[in-house]
Structure 1
Amino acid sequence: MRKSLLIAGVAATAALTLAGCSSSSDTASTEEVTEWPESITISLVPSVEGEDLAEALDPLTTYLSDNLGIEVNGVVATDYAATVEALGADQAQVIITDAGSLYNATERYDAELVLRDVRFGATSYASVAFTNNPDKYCADEPVMSTYAASDIELSYCNGIEAAGEAAMGQGAAGLDSLAEISDGTMVALQAATSPAGYQYPVVAMREAGIDTDAGITQVPVEGNNNAVLAVYNDDAEIGFAYWDARTTVTEEAPDIADKVVAFAYTDMIPNGGVAVSNTLPADLVTDLTELMDGYADSSEEAASVMFDLVGLSDWTSETAEDEIARYGEILAQFSN
């Protein structure tokens, strides 16, 4: 099924009679048709390792298909970089991806940034430094603060959160404590493409005077949950993940607040979002953006799907492109 945008010109005819003379002019009507494709494809990656997104995608793509009147397909990409390449190869026309990939998509393929991810009211977040050795990295006694999104009390030190209050997760905070990292310290780090699990932590450690190549022992992990568990299981003394990834392991590690303390926040990292190919008609992009922007509010099921799908509570059309551009500067440090 195709949908067309018809832009019709207005025919004008004027007749004037002056001093026995007459003249007329006709402007022929013109029309320009912009056709929608019969189908589009959305590419995205899991927010938690092992999540079955192929099944979780169906409610979103059905919602979009029904409201757009064209077929909307969903595919699961192997990683964030793959979403960008899929868009560049026209294998996907819409990508739901991280901040770095949004930057690459706009720079390499002139994609349009249309939405930013919202997690519990925020469009940016900090990477958290976690430790199982608070005596070394905490200048004060850890305190308990509530992670409001899950109503879970977690432990924090170095004044990054206030005791008995809702945790805010705002960085930068407590970064001086990274200078306590000693040679050979086991540090759990995620893939080099991960903003919260690698890039921002490495920049923060370097700025604290730590040689992140020779001065620490990197413990590779996959996924934010595994970064936390590496610290919990004493496989690493420090780990980095998004705020607050400890909530993802509370079932398997109910004493996580006792054993894993958050002691520093990096600079704020922009959430990812949605970018679209520049080959899509403008009116299709407008409708698609409005539908996705309103998806989380369209039903209780949609809100649940949204969280299960990509760990989000909403999307927003306030894209704050300057934050994405700033992340591009960070990304450049890891381009090789």
Structure 2
Amino acid sequence: MRTSLLAASSVAVLSLGLAGCASGGDAAADGEWPETLTISLVPSVEGADLAEALDPLTAHLSEGLGIDVEGKVATNYTATVESLGSGGSDVIITDAGSLYNAIEQFDAELILRDVRFGATSYAAVAYTNDPDTYCDDEPVMAAYDASGIELSYCNGLEEAGSSAMGEGPVGTEKFAEAAGAKVALQSATSPAGYQYPVVAMREAGLDTDADIDQIPVEGNNNAVIAVANGDAEIGFAYWDARTTVTEEIPDIADKAVAFAYTEMIPNGGVAVTNTLPGDLVAELTTLLDDYADSSDEAADVMFDLVGLSDWTSETAEEEITRYGEILEQFAG
């Protein structure tokens, strides 16, 4: 078992979580399957809708595994790690920071990664209203397929007339030009709105406490709006948060040009305790991996319950490890 480099209390909230009552114990250690498998999560739905939302998923798993699968709720992402470590849950569906902690603290096994709009990770984007300073070339328009609109990019982030891919890091060397600039940053717990951008600016040679004028904003939309309105010369948000303000700012592509992508920020995923038998883990992984494609109802449950379009067994654990390294810089 490895020692955690990151206190669970510093985990940033991004997407999903689990906690519940585990039942693996000695039977699992001996290779026998437990009678009950507990999967619990922090769902998107609340109150009376919870049981109805969970039932299709747990029923699918129970039928496929031939054992009872229970769904229980965690109050937050930190609780998912604590539950796994204490034997309170067998499986956690949680955010990237919690996955990192579960792996580091309790030698959990990462089995799946979350897929949103076809991707398992996303970049933080640097937007500017001053392309003369931060763009080495003329901005071009590329389509953001998830919303069906065209947006502006420079520094080779995207090809003109193509479908934008949002893959970083690209253009981060331009952060060296930001000394003295007003920079819209979100909460220090925000990966795309603060943590990855701050690390990238520091790696470009900026002292983010002394060299820039930090403009606090709440939410990705407000980071974009701050740039569009001229309250900040640079703003950071997830790719591509400009789609959240197109109704109120139709010419957002002119007022906020994307000029840099940070390293990719991982989505969360699914991890299991190391006490479960390997054949059970393999079958569970397959059932979860195939769930979203099993029916229209399953696809709706995935999106409504946990805000995902799919899971994938291509875990890219190195992205989770890197996320933990970045979070460590902001621990405490």
User: TM-score of the superposition, structure 2-length normalised?
Assistant: 0.77
1:261 aligns with 2:257: yes
TM-aligned CA deviation for residue 265 of structure 1? 0.7
Relative distance call for 1:231 and 1:37 in structure 2 (3 A) is farther
CA distance in 2, matches of 1:306, 1:256: 32
- C-alpha separation in 2, matches of 1:87 and 1:255: 48
1:182 pairs with one of 156, 179, 182: 179
Q: For residues 297 and 221 of structure 2, what CA distance do their matches in structure 1 show?
A: 25
Deviations 1:134-187 (A, max 9, x none): 333223332210012232211112221111111111212111221221325232
Alpha-carbon separation, structure 2, partners of 1:251 and 1:304: 27
2:109 aligned residue: 112
- Aligned partner of 2:223 among 209, 224, 227: 227
State yes or no: 1:167 paired with 2:160.
Answer: no
Whose relative contact order is higher, 1 or 2, with alpha carbons under 8 Å and at least 6 apart?
Answer: 2
Q: 1:282 to 1:248 in 2, by over 3 A?
A: farther
Amino acid at match of 1:64: L
Partner residue of 1:84? Answer: 81
Q: How far apart are residue 329 of structure 1 and its match?
A: 2.9
Find the aligned partners of 1:57 and 1:129 in 2 and give their Cα distance.
37
Counterpart selection for 2:55 from 53, 59, 62: 62
Once the 2 structures are TM-superposed, how far is the Cα of residue 124 of structure 1 from its aligned partner? 2.8
2:98 alignment partner AA: S
Contact 2:224/2:237 (8 A) holds in 1: yes
Q: Which residue of 2 aligns with 1:332?
A: 328
Structure-2 change in CA distance of 1:89 and 1:233 (3 Å): farther
Answer yes or no: is 1:40 the counterpart of 2:38. yes
- Letter aligned with residue 171 of structure 2: G
Instruction: Say if 1:288 and 1:58 are closer, same or farther in 2 by CA, change over 3 A.
Output: farther
Q: Which residue matches 2:73?
A: 75
Q: For 2:273 and 2:184, how far apart are their aligned partners in 1?
A: 38
Partner of 2:122 in structure 1?
A: 125
**Aligned residue number for residue 195 of structure 2:** 199
C-alpha deviation, 1:305, in angstroms: 3.9
Conserved? CA contact 1:205–1:212, under 8 Å: yes
- Of residues 165-174 and 55-64 in structure 1, the stretch that sits farther from structure 2 once superposed is 55-64
How far off is 1:107 after superposition?
Answer: 0.6
Report % sequence identity: 64
Counterpart for residue 296 of structure 1 = 292
Larger gyration radius, structure 1 or structure 2 = 1
Q: Is this contact kept in 2: 1:64–1:291, CA < 8 A?
A: no
The residue type paired with residue 203 of structure 1 is: V
Residue of structure 2 in register with 1:27 after alignment: none
Residues 115 and 275 of structure 1 are in contact (CA less than 8 Å); yes or no, is this contact kept in structure 2? yes
Unaligned runs of 5+ in 1: 8-31, 46-50
Kindly provide the CA deviation profile for residues 52-77 of structure 1, in whole angstroms up to 9, marking residues without a partner as x. 46677656621232123325324364
* TM-score using structure 1 length: 0.76
- Counterpart residue identity of residue 263, structure 2: D
Runs of 5+ in structure 2 lacking a partner? 1-22, 63-67
Amino acid at match of 2:323: Y
Any conservation in 2 of the 1:145–1:155 contact (CA below 8 Å)? yes
* Contact 1:56/1:305, CA 8 A, preserved across alignment: no
Instruction: Say whether the 8 Å CA contact 2:266–2:319 is kept in structure 1.
Output: yes
1:128 Cα offset (Å) = 0.9
RMSD of the alignment, in Å? 3.1
Q: 150-159 or 131-140, which moves further after superposition?
A: 131-140
Deviation at 1:215, TM superposition (A): 2.1
Distance 2:226 2:88 in 1: 36
Structure 1 residues 297 and 235 mapped into 2: Cα distance closer, same or farther (>3 Å)?
farther
Contact 1:190 / 1:198 at 8 angstroms: preserved in 2?
A: yes
Following the alignment from structure 1 to structure 2, what is the Cα–Cα distance between the partners of residues 289 and 95?
12
